[in-house]
Amino acid sequence: MTIKYKDLKKNDQIRSTQLGPGQAVSGKLLESPKQGKGLKQVILIWTKGTEVGMFDEHGSVEAGDITEVFRDGRWHLVTGHPKDKGWDPDAYLDSVK
C-alpha cells in the first residue's frame, strides 16, 4: 500500500534518505507538508541520526527524500512528491527572445 505525500500529517513517523543513498533513517514530521493550496517542497523533520552513527537533530528535508511513513502498524511507501521546479535554462532563453 502507498500513501500520497499530500496526505502526510504533522507528527507522522517517517523514513528518509537525506543523509545519503542507502542510509534510510527514521524521524518525525515537525510540520504538515500542506501549505495553503499547494505542497511544501522542503519540510521540517526530527531525524534520528544515531541510527547511522550521527546526531539526532531537526532540519529541513526535500520532499523527495521522504520514502516511507508508519501507519496502521506498518510502513507504507510515500508517492506523489511535488515535482522539483528548478531553474530551466531553455524556458529562460525562450522568455528573453
Residue-wise pLDDT for 50-77, tens only, equals: 998 889 999 999 999 999 999 999 999 9
Share of the chain above pLDDT 90, in %: 59
User: Side chain identity at 20, as an amino acid letter?
Assistant: G
Predicted pLDDT at 89:
67
Main-chain phi, psi angles of 49, to 5 degrees:
-65, -20
Average pLDDT, the chain: 87
pTM here is 0.79
Contact (Cβ atoms closer than 8 angstroms) between residue 29 and residue 40: no
Predicted pLDDT at 15:
95
The domain limits of the chain are 2-95
Average pLDDT over every residue of 1-18: 93
Predicted pLDDT at 1:
87
